[in-house]
Amino acid sequence: MEIDNENGDNSEPNGQNRNKGYNVGELEQWCLCTLGYLKSFSRQYATEIWSHIAMLDEEVFTWDIHPLIRKAAFSGLCRFTSEKSHL
């Protein structure tokens, strides 16, 4: 029984991934992390944020804000965006 030759594949070199999947760049990774932090902070401090929601709607959540920022913040607040509003 040869343990080293079980699957016939060579091991990965140090620091290199042999998977040919999607490679996320540094900027994309930073954006995803930032959006994740925004979502978690808005969820954690939702009770404090809701008392200021009218001001945030007027000054922060305007139509020129990036849609992913709006989606992350609204998701953390359990608030629907205008694209997904319930009737």
Measured in whole angstroms, how far is the alpha carbon of residue 63 from the centre of its chain? 20
Residue 76: both structure tokens together? 């953390």
Domain spans of the chain, in order of start: 25-80
Q: Is the pTM of this model over 0.85?
A: no
Smallest Cα–Cα separation from 32: which of 44, 24, 22?
24
Q: Determine the pLDDT at residue 61.
A: 86
pLDDT tens-digit readout, 22-64: 677 888 898 999 999 999 999 999 999 999 989 988 998 888 8
